[in-house]
Structure 1
Amino acid sequence: MEPARAAVWNARAALLYSLGGWTALGGLIYYSSLDNTKTGTENESDPEANPGTRKEIHTKEYPFGLTVTTEITYKEVQPPLTRLLRRAVSFFVPNDDPPDPPSEK
């Protein structure tokens, strides 16, 4: 095989493999986020999945007894790619926490 044809074949194969890899990764992210929105329930014991909300309450009083209360609620929403990357990193980072005690039945 000529070197020029081999280089073209190599470039085409690399393009095909990269396209397939990114398609699989995109499908994984899409369907995992789709499953989370369908069920509407997340694991409540997992702090990564349910970070909770933060509330700020501001009260301002004006003359003549007028009081205005403003409540702002923040909820941290992580994009699916961030959750996927954190899960992948958690496999390689050692967990030094003590093991959970066995549950009694």
Structure 2
Amino acid sequence: MKPARAVLWNARAALLYSLGGWTTLGGLIYYRRLDRDSTENERDPEANQGIRKEVRTKEYPFGLTVTTEITYKEVQPPLTRLLRRVVSFFVPNGDPPSEK
């Protein structure tokens, strides 16, 4: 292998490893902040909808009754929470600015 080609290969490998390292570090920081913000989400009525149940009953001839119970739990994926947070920076909500 020629020295110039080895230097180019080394630069590409260094770029790949640094990208992976910074991605891992960024993910750790993001999820640590996400865990800390989860206590703030308890006060948010949109994020804390809880479990919702639907019960449907259908009666058939000869006394046969079928009851169907459907349980929903609103779980937002992390990407949805991130997108809502980004959109909230650009959409004014009329609240006074925070003093944090």
Deviation, structure 1 residue 86: 3.5
The 1-side partners of 2:75 and 2:32 are apart by 17
Unaligned ranges ≥5, structure 2: none
- Give secondary structure in 1 for the equivalent of 2:90: coil
- Per-residue displacement from partner, 1:25-56 (whole Å, max 9, x unpaired)? 443465567x48xx899423252x32444433
TM-score between the two structures when normalised by the length of structure 1: 0.57
The 2-side partners of 1:28 and 1:46 are apart by 26
RMSD between superposed Cα atoms in Å? 3.4
Report whether the alignment pairs 1:80 with 2:78.
Answer: yes
User: Where is the helix percentage greater, Structure 1 or Structure 2?
Assistant: 2
TM-score between the two structures when normalised by the length of structure 2: 0.59
Structure possessing the higher relative contact order (Cα contacts under 8 Å, 6 or more residues apart): 1
Map of 1:83-102 to 2, 5 A cutoff? Answer: 83-87=81-85, 89-90=86-87, 93-100=89-96
Aligned AA (1:90): V
Report whether the alignment pairs 1:8 with 2:12.
Answer: no
How many aligned positions are there? 93
Unaligned ranges ≥5, structure 1: 101-105
- Per-residue displacement from partner, 1:39-96 (whole Å, max 9, x unpaired)? 899423252x324444332111133444332220111212334423443x236x5122
